[in-house]
Structure 1
Amino acid sequence: MGGSVRAVSSNGVYSFTKPNRESITLLAGLGVEGDVHAGTTVKHRSRMRRDPSQPNLRQVHLIHEELFDEVRDAGFEVVAGQLGENVTTLGIDLLGLPTGTLLRLGDEAVVEVTGLRNPCPQIDGFEHGLLKQLVGRDEDGAAWRKAGIMSVVLTGGVVRPGDPVKVELPDGPHRPLEVV
């Protein structure tokens, strides 16, 4: 099972969007070199206000490019990096992966999937109405979230657009993704 990296993005300052780059360097246990969300403890502003000592389970944010096609069909124009992700993939059902899945990005880097990104109200600040495309409830009332997944870096390395992504599912019973 696998796909490819379509884009990589990072930003050294807090901003909703992240500029696309020719490459990013993942650092084991930290995240994306030079990105504002890199570190061993949580860097998301609202989570830091609650408890700045929490481990950073959100070191690398991944979104599947197919999401952009889906929201485009609903009248929204979104491209790689604009939702704050670090890695945009193609050909992988990121939202369907279980917790603990390993993603091999390029030749060296390995990230472990920790959970779902919880879409925040800033998404509507980016484009009004977009949040409803990324979070909602099904007919049974169960919540669904489509704003990508979060991961931690196990093995560092350089990641570039066009790199392969290899998926390694964890052993044993699979745990569905939850918000981290």
Structure 2
Amino acid sequence: MKVVSLSKDSEHRFSKETCDSLTFLKGLGIEGDAHCGDTVKHRSRVKADPSQPNLRQVHLVHSELISELQESGFTVEAGTIGENVLTEGVELLSLPRNTLIMIGAKVVLRVTGLRNPCAQLDNYQRGLTKAVLARDEAGNLVRKAGIMAVVEEGGIVNVGDSISLQMPPKPYKALERV
């Protein structure tokens, strides 16, 4: 399990610029990223209530999703769908809420929920929203566009850093959109 790409953007744009390392700030997010802060930064949520806690400080996506989208004909790569951390070998969507994700030597993230895909995906490329949504055997909606987390311990993360997980106490709480 490792980091295969890192991205950030100081403005609220759909895609983010890739970089070799990121500085994670405890309780805030990623230095220089538009979503950094202790209160919500997502534009629609700011409009609803700007005092909400920021549960979307860091966006993680599994590289396997990018490969799946590419195989389906979409032109996507690292940073395209707005993630900060692109992982390899981590089943992000199956993690329970409050799982701790340790990256590199110091950084600890706490999983808060699922990213809810929005129309911006289709604005980027027609059909992309539908491609990151699915239905399970019971007919329930499955959001595949990654997970959100907050920074519990800060530090610097580099491309290639290892990732380990610490599961929360049982009973596990399923991820919901945040």
TM-score for both structures, normalised by structure 1: 0.96
Q: Deviations over 1:61-96 (max 9, x none)?
A: 000000011112211121111110100000000000
**Separation of aligned partners in 1, 2:20 and 2:104:** 13
**Residue identity matched to 2:91:** D
**Separation of aligned partners in 2, 1:138 and 1:174:** 19
**Residue identity matched to 1:54:** Q
Q: Hey, what does 2:107 align to over in structure 1?
A: 109
**Separation of aligned partners in 1, 2:60 and 2:162:** 14
Q: What are the residue-to-residue correspondences of 1:84-95 with 2, within 5 Å?
A: 84-95=82-93
**Separation of aligned partners in 1, 2:154 and 2:137:** 41
**Which residues of structure 2 form unaligned runs of 5+?**
none
TM-score for both structures, normalised by structure 2: 0.97
**Which residues of structure 1 form unaligned runs of 5+?**
none
Q: Hey, what does 1:162 align to over in structure 2?
A: 160
**Separation of aligned partners in 2, 1:178 and 1:78:** 25
Q: What are the residue-to-residue correspondences of 1:64-75 with 2, within 5 Å?
A: 64-75=62-73
Asked if structure 2 preserves the Cα contact closer than 8 Å seen for 1:68 and 1:77, the reply is no
What is the Cα-based RMSD across aligned positions, in Å? 0.9
SS of equivalent residue, structure 1 residue 49: helix
- Identical pairs, percent: 52
SS of equivalent residue, structure 1 residue 47: helix
Q: Hey, what does 2:127 align to over in structure 1?
A: 129
Asked if structure 2 preserves the Cα contact closer than 8 Å seen for 1:94 and 1:149, the reply is yes
Q: Hey, what does 1:79 align to over in structure 2?
A: 77
Q: Hey, what does 1:119 align to over in structure 2?
A: 117
